Amino acid sequence: MQIIRLTLGAFETNCYLVEGEPGRCIVIDPADGGARLLRELGSRGLTPEAVLLTHGHYDHILAVPDLQRRWPSLPVFCHPADCPEALTEYDMGQEFPTVTAFANVQPIAEGQELSFAGLTARVLETPGHTPGSVTFRIGDTLFTGDTLFYIDIGRTDFEGGSYPQMMRSLRRLALLDGDPEILPGHGPRTRLGYERRFNPYLKNGGGGVPWG
Can you state the percent helix, strand and coil of the chain, rounding each to 5? 25, 30, 45
**Site residue total, Zn ion (CB under 5 A):** 4
Q: How far is the CB of 146 from Zn ion (least distance, A)?
A: 4
C-alpha torsion sign, points 108, 73, 8, 182: positive
Burial 108-123 (b: 16+ CB within 10 A, else e): beeebebebbebebbb
Amino acid at 201: Y
For position 57 contacting Zn ion by CB under 5 A, the verdict is: yes
- Options 105, 185, 192, 210; binder of Zn ion; rule CB under 5 A: 185
User: From residue 37, how far is each of 40, 70, 80, 85, 133 by CA, in Å?
Assistant: 5, 11, 26, 26, 23
Q: What is the DSSP letter of 184?
A: E
- Stretch near Zn ion under the rule CB under 5 A, chosen from 15-23, 62-70, 144-152, 203-211: 144-152
Q: How far is the CB of 139 from Zn ion (least distance, A)?
A: 23
For position 79 contacting Zn ion by CB under 5 A, the verdict is: no
For position 146 contacting Zn ion by CB under 5 A, the verdict is: yes
How is the beta sheet containing 13-19 ordered, strand by strand? 2-8, 13-19, 24-28, 47-52, 76-78, 105-107
Residue number, 11 or 116, with CB nearest to Zn ion: 11
Asked if 29 and 53 touch (Cβ cutoff 8 Å), the reply is: yes
User: From residue 16, how far is each of 24, 78, 144, 175 by CA, in Å?
Assistant: 13, 16, 12, 25
Q: How far is the CB of 115 from Zn ion (least distance, A)?
A: 26
Residue number, 20 or 135, with CB nearest to Zn ion: 135
- Stretch near Zn ion under the rule CB under 5 A, chosen from 114-122, 161-169, 170-178, 180-188: 180-188
Residue number, 133 or 199, with CB nearest to Zn ion: 133
Q: How far is the CB of 77 from Zn ion (least distance, A)?
A: 17
Asked if 29 and 185 touch (Cβ cutoff 8 Å), the reply is: yes
- Stretch near Zn ion under the rule CB under 5 A, chosen from 22-30, 51-59, 113-121, 135-143: 51-59
Residue number, 57 or 137, with CB nearest to Zn ion: 57
Residue number, 188 or 193, with CB nearest to Zn ion: 188
Q: How far is the CB of 206 from Zn ion (least distance, A)?
A: 21
Name the residues that contact Zn ion, by CB under 5 A: 57, 146, 185, 212
